[in-house]
Structure formats: structure tokens, C-alpha cells
Structure 1
Amino acid sequence: MQQKTHRPVPFEITEQTRVAIIDWIPLAQLLTFPPSLTASTQRLATD
């Protein structure tokens, strides 16, 4: 997101970078949403 105009900024990545990212995502155990929304036993305390 461009800071001044608040518009998306297009960019391109190389095929090699795309493949590396696809390979890295499972290794990094990335989630598509915050863990607290998926695992009720691992929520952060709010008191």
C-alpha cells in the first residue's frame, strides 16, 4: 500500500522467488489467520 495515496502498489517477483516462497511457507508454519482464532486452548490472557 502506497503511504501517501493509500493505493495498492503493483510489483512482480521472479519465478525463482515465487517457488522459494511456496517452498518456505510450510517450513515457516505460516497461518492464514491469527492462531488465537483457530486454537481456543492457546489464547492469550487478557487479565
Structure 2
Amino acid sequence: MQWSNSSFFKILILGLISLNVHPCQLQMYLRNSLTFWVTFFTHS
């Protein structure tokens, strides 16, 4: 799977909009997605 940066940011922004979360939940979501992408790129 190859991701372009633009599609990645579109997915991220769409995810944030669809979640419509409180700041604390947003922090948790960002932390989780960050660890996911770090592991995704280090394992590929």
C-alpha cells in the first residue's frame, strides 16, 4: 500500500470531522493514530 501525503491528510481531516470529539478524546485519537502511522512506516 502506498499513500500520498495529500490523501493521508484528507483521511486524517475527514476522521477528525466525523469524530467531532472533545479535546481530551481528540488528544487520545491523535496519539493513537500517531503510534499507528509510526509503526506502519517503520514496518513497511
> Same fold, TM exceeding 0.5?
no
| TM-score, normalised by the number of residues in structure 1 | 0.36
Q: TM-score, normalised by structure 2?
A: 0.38
| Higher RCO (CA 8 Å, separation ≥ 6 residues) | 2
Q: Which has the larger radius of gyration?
A: 1
Normalized per residue, which structure has more helix? 2
